[in-house]
Amino acid sequence: MTEVFHWSRSWNGIEKHYHEVLHLLEGVLLYVFRGLAKRCKDEIATVRAIYPSEEFLLAQEGKEVRLNFAEARKLLREEGPPEFANVRDDEDMSTAQEKALGALIRKKYNTDFYVLDKFPISSLLFYATPGSENPEAANAYDFSMRG
């Protein structure tokens, strides 16, 4: 088992806005997670008895957490560990920063699942699409579980 699961995806041919896909995939993932928690309680308890872990928290419906990259960086600077007080908005996050952000989001929003949006274009691969409002922020998002 892993402590962290991270999934990135790129899409072409979107009708109006890339958030169409973000909302669709977020809804599918939340449906799966909530369904597992509801229908597989005994199995989850068995696994957690063998591999102790904290309960996987999900936000209440309608209160899902979506942050843009700059908001996440600000949260790390203001409320995170001291070593992240000077993180920059134009650099990608390290694994340690992602884990710290996951812990902050769990504490602040009572959820382990969240979406990060609008990554700096300079930190992504060549095929990332620049945002129409801000070409320095990519039309890119990540779904994160515990950072």
Domains annotated for the chain, with CATH where assigned, are 5-145 (3.30.930.10)
DSSP 91: S
Give the helix ranges, DSSP H, for 80-122: 95-109
CA angle in degrees (0–180, nearest 5) for 32-4-42:
45
pLDDT in the model for residue 11: 56
Q: How far apart are CA 108 and CA 25, in angstroms?
A: 24
pLDDT in the model for residue 105: 97
Q: Do the beta carbons of residue 91 and residue 123 sit within 8 Å?
A: yes
Tell me the β-bridge partners of 115.
66, 143
| Residue with the two structure tokens 């700059």 | 70
pLDDT in the model for residue 8: 58
| Residue 77 burial (C-beta neighbours within 10 Å; 0-12, 13-18, 19+) | middle
Give the pLDDT means over successive 10-residue stretches in the chain (147 positions): 54 70 92 96 96 94 93 95 90 91 96 93 76 81 88
End-to-end CA, the chain: 15
Strand-strand pairing, 5-8 and 65-68:
unpaired
pLDDT in the model for residue 1: 45
